[in-house]
Every structure is written in C-alpha cells, then in structure tokens.
Chains A and B, each alone.
Chain A
Amino acid sequence: MDDLAAAFGQAASLLLGFDAELIEIIGLSLRVSFMAVGLAALLGLPLGAAVALYRFPGRTLLGALLNAFMGLPPVVVGLVVYLMLSRAGPLGALGLLFTPGAMILAQCLLVLPIVAALSAQIVADLNEEYNEQLHSFAAGPLQRLATLVWDGRFSLMTAILAGFGRAIAEVGAVMIVGGNIAHSTRVMTTAIALETSKGNLALALGLGIVLIALALAVNFAALALRDAARPRYG
C-alpha cells in the first residue's frame, strides 16, 4: 500500500516538477509510437481494405496471417528486427540498430497487423451496406476502396487507436532494438523495466501511472475529435 501511495506521489512530483529527463522520455515514447502507428496506418488501412474488397491469389492466407499476427509477441518482433538491422543482417548497412528509427520499425511491424486486420473487418462490413449502391454508380475498384475508407474513417480510427495502445505499451521490441540507452533510446516502458529491476518500485510505478495517463489522453483526444466531427457526417 505504501508503495502505491508513494507511486502516486512520485508520479505527481515527476509531472509537476517538469523533470527534464522525464519529459525527454515521454517525448521519445510519443514520437516513436506516433511515427510507428502513422506508418502502420498508411500501409495497414489500404492493405486491410484490399484484403476486404479485392480477390487476389493468397488473399485468404493473407487475411488469416493478419489476424494471427495481431498477437505477435513483441520480443520476437524485436529479435527479428534486431537480426535484420545488426551489422551482419541484410539491413545492417542502414546503421539503424539502437536508434529511434529501429524502434519505429519494430513497433510498426507490431501494429501493422492490428490496423490491417481491424480495417479489413470494418471495410468489409461497410462494403456490405454500400455494395449494391456503389455497383449501381459504376464505381471502379480504387474509387470503391477510397469511398469505404473515407466513409469508415471514424470506425477506422478505433483500429488506429488499438494500434497506438499496443505500440505505446509494449516493452519487448523497443528494449531489444533500442537498447534502453539514456538520452537516446529510453522510452517509458523501458524506463519502467529498468527502475523495477533496480528496485525503485515507487519511481517505476510513478512512470507507469504517467504512461497510462498519456495513453488515456491520446484516446480521449482522438474520440473527442471523432465526436465533434461525426454529427456533421452521420
């Protein structure tokens, strides 16, 4: 109990004190996860929509893989990205290992299946409703995809938020490919893991509370945006 109370105290003093190191860590966490989710959305929305709408060889397999990979273990993804980016790996020349770039790549791979699989479901449901009308309008395949993604944008936001939740919360992948280097690749989750292993439980928990508050704030902001826009478009 003392630990919990101390943790809230720590969290408050961390935030109110504008601790420079904490701000840096929060900044990197947000930057890495936003970039990763942005990339994953850019690739995952069209990919999911394509799986939902188009017939192509391997479509069923791809759909099944996306669904299965929603639960990819972060450490495994981290390990694979580590192997790719290590000096001897195929992408070793990029020199990305132990940089935020590597962390973005790893989180993007984690989030991509989530965004794509949920998008596929959302787009398929909406297509069910729109199908005959779009057929009647003689909409082409790309026009159909664009229409469904645009009209489904409020639901698709939920898919993106799910991806963001996954990215901001995972520790395994960023730990392996980032290395938790202070002032360079240390993010909220790796800092929590470090403080816990050092026995600074109150500080670790305080960081945890800040992390949860961050995730909540991002979700609230996104949902508020959605609710403000939705009445105009139904």
Chain B
Amino acid sequence: MAEPAIETSSILPLRLESVSYEASGKRLIDGVTFDLRAGTRSVILGPNGAGKSLLLRLCHGLIRPSAGNVSWAAASGVAVPYRQAMVFQRPVLLRRSVAANVAYPLRLRRTPARERHARVEEALSRAGLSALAGRAARSLSGGEQQRLAIARAWVMRPEVLFLDEPTANLDPAAARAIESLIDGVHASGAKIVMTTHDLGQARRLADEILFLHRGHLLERADAATFFTKPKTAEASAFLKGDLSW
C-alpha cells in the first residue's frame, strides 16, 4: 500500500476515457476506458498484437490517443512526467557506465550530488549490481541490463512504474530475478503497471488483470477471479492455450 505522504499528493488514479489509437488507418486500440488506482499491481494481459505495448505507451504519455482522454488526478503544478517511469522490453541503455546510467535521470532532475550518489548506490545494491557499477552498461548480460533498467527507473522513486514485457527476452532464472525486483519496487510503494503475454508471470505478479484482445479491453478483474472464472470466450481460450502448453 502507498505511504500516506504519497497518498496526499498522488498523481493517481490514472483515468483513460474512450481512448482509441490509430496508425495508418488501422484502429489498434479501440475505445478503452478504465482507471488505475494506487497500490495494486495491474497486469495488462493478452496475446501478441493485442495492443498491450501501445496501451502502456498511451498511459505513460509516449504517444497521444487519436481519440479519448488520458488524465492523471494530479493537482495542477505537479510535474506528472517526473512521477512515473517506464522499463522497456529491450532496455535502452546509455553509452555510459552502469552507475552513470542510474545517475542519469537524477541528473536530469538536478538532484544534488550528495543525494544522487546515495540514491544511485542504494538502487544498484537493491538490483544486485553494485559490483558492476563501473562497467560499461552495454557490456552487461541481458538479465543484468534489464535489472539495470529497473534500477534506473527505481532511483527516480516513481509513483507509477510501467513495464513492457520486462522478461520477454530472458531465460527463466533471469526472469525470476526481474520479478523479485519488481516485487521490491512494489513493496516500496510504487504502483506497478505491466504488460505480459506470459500467464505464469501474470499469475505470480498480478493483483488485477486487464485482458486486452485486438485493441479491446474485454475484461478487468482481480487476478484470482480472472484466472478461475474468465467471463469472455476470448479470455477462456487464452487461458486454455496456457493449459495445452
């Protein structure tokens, strides 16, 4: 649960109202309405091509909806972009050292040097990357790179952390390390919004599921309900696909 201090000035809930997104004449997200509240881990689930990544980018503000509204509950004057962070499927690491990558967003925010060093050190140690602090970020393994991307997001102390298929390219052990790191971020009070097509991961991480199918939000339920009693045929089929594996 979010700490009271965060609660009072929260930018959440995030509200999407009849949001659609079109690219080259195709409607990829179609009339999606929902809101995301603080505290829970929301997992956007769906098959490949459902529009999960687009929906996440719409929430984070990387792309603008063709129709509809994306709005935060922030009071005016709150720097909403500074209160959220995103981790991409393929981490985009700066051509700098591991520590410099984590320090980078704090530099952008002009965090004083002393505080910056302390926070970078803390984030690196939480991600288990302290020993690699001086290495070139892009020389790390895939799992380490993704952990670094999460540490770099975490160091900003975001109120909301968006993650786009954060373990899609990783082996199971590396994926587990990422999942426990995400748990840590959540435990520190951040709202988690992530996409996945991996049902096992959704079961392990989700408090609630938003099931996306061909650009439509077909279901939204808490995880237990969704996995035991899906309401739509599409969700049932998607869950059965898991069983046949």
- A36, B85: Cα distance in complex, Å: 43
Min C-beta distance of A130 to chain B, whole Å = 6
Contact check, A233 vs B108: say whether CB atoms are below 8 A apart.
no
Contact check, B108 vs A139: say whether CB atoms are below 8 A apart.
yes
- A48, B207: Cα distance in complex, Å: 48
B176 at the interface (CB under 8 A from A): no
Contact check, A143 vs B97: say whether CB atoms are below 8 A apart.
no
A90 at the interface (CB under 8 A from B): no
From B32-40, B131-139, B184-192, B234-242, give the one contacting chain A.
Answer: B131-139
Contact check, B62 vs A143: say whether CB atoms are below 8 A apart.
no
- A4, B137: Cα distance in complex, Å: 51
Q: Which chain A residues numbered 132 to 153 have a C-beta less than 8 Å away from chain B?
A: 132-133, 135-140, 143, 147, 151-152
| Most chain B CB atoms below 10 A, which of A137, A140, A231, A232 | A137
Smallest CB-CB separation from A126: which chain B residue?
B95
- A143, B110: Cα distance in complex, Å: 11
Which residues of chain B have C-beta atoms less than 8 A from A234's C-beta?
93, 95-96, 136-139
| Most chain A CB atoms below 10 A, which of B85, B93, B94, B134 | B94
Among A137, A138, A139, A151, the residue within 8 A (CB) of B96 is A151
Which residues of chain B have C-beta atoms less than 8 A from A130's C-beta?
92, 94
Total A-B pairs in contact (CB under 8 Å)? Answer: 47
Smallest CB-CB separation from A147: which chain B residue?
B94
| Most chain B CB atoms below 10 A, which of A138, A154, A231 | A138
Given the interface contacts A233-B97, A233-B136, A234-B137, does A133 sit within 8 Å of B92 by beta carbon? yes
- A132, B79: Cα distance in complex, Å: 18
**Mask of A30-72 contacts with B, CB within 8 angstroms, 1/0:** 0000000000000000000000000000000000000000000
Which residues of chain B have C-beta atoms less than 8 A from A132's C-beta?
57, 62, 88, 92
Given the interface contacts A132-B88, A151-B96, does A138 sit within 8 Å of B81 by beta carbon? yes
**Looking at chain B, what size class is its interface with the partner chain?**
20 to 34
Chain A interface, number of residues (Cβ within 8 angstroms): 19
B41 at the interface (CB under 8 A from A): no
Min C-beta distance of B54 to chain A, whole Å = 12
| Most chain B CB atoms below 10 A, which of A130, A135, A147, A234 | A234
Contact check, A137 vs B108: say whether CB atoms are below 8 A apart.
yes
A129 at the interface (CB under 8 A from B): yes
B13 at the interface (CB under 8 A from A): no
- A152, B60: Cα distance in complex, Å: 27
Contact check, A138 vs B136: say whether CB atoms are below 8 A apart.
no
Contact check, A143 vs B108: say whether CB atoms are below 8 A apart.
yes
| 7 pairs, CB–CB < 8 Å, chain A vs chain B | A132-B88, A133-B92, A137-B108, A143-B108, A231-B139, A232-B136, A233-B97
Contact check, A233 vs B95: say whether CB atoms are below 8 A apart.
yes
Among A129, A136, A231, the residue within 8 A (CB) of B60 is A136
- A147, B57: Cα distance in complex, Å: 22
Main DSSP-derived SS at the A contact region: helix
B68 at the interface (CB under 8 A from A): no
**Mask of B81-101 contacts with A, CB within 8 angstroms, 1/0:** 110011010001111110000
Q: Which chain A residues numbered 145 to 179 have a C-beta less than 8 Å away from chain B?
A: 147, 151-152, 154
- A140, B104: Cα distance in complex, Å: 13
Which residues of chain A have C-beta atoms less than 8 A from B60's C-beta?
136
With contacts A132-B88, A231-B136, A233-B95 known, what are 13 further pairs, Cβ within 8 A? A129-B92, A130-B92, A135-B62, A137-B105, A138-B81, A138-B82, A138-B108, A140-B108, A147-B104, A231-B139, A232-B136, A234-B137, A234-B139
Min C-beta distance of B55 to chain A, whole Å = 15
- A28, B239: Cα distance in complex, Å: 76
Which residues of chain B have C-beta atoms less than 8 A from A147's C-beta?
94, 104
Would you list the 6 A-B pairs with minimal beta carbon distance, nearest first? Answer: A234-B138, A234-B136, A138-B81, A133-B92, A151-B95, A136-B86
**Mask of B48-67 contacts with A, CB within 8 angstroms, 1/0:** 00000000010010100000
Among B62, B92, B96, the residue within 8 A (CB) of A233 is B96
Which residues of chain B have C-beta atoms less than 8 A from A232's C-beta?
97, 134, 136
Which residues of chain B have C-beta atoms less than 8 A from A143's C-beta?
108
Min C-beta distance of A95 to chain B, whole Å = 45
Smallest CB-CB separation from A154: which chain B residue?
B95
Which residues of chain B have C-beta atoms less than 8 A from A151's C-beta?
94-96
Which residues of chain B have C-beta atoms less than 8 A from A154's C-beta?
95
Q: Which chain B residues numbered 209 to 245 have a C-beta less than 8 Å away from chain A?
A: none
Which residues of chain A have C-beta atoms less than 8 A from B93's C-beta?
234
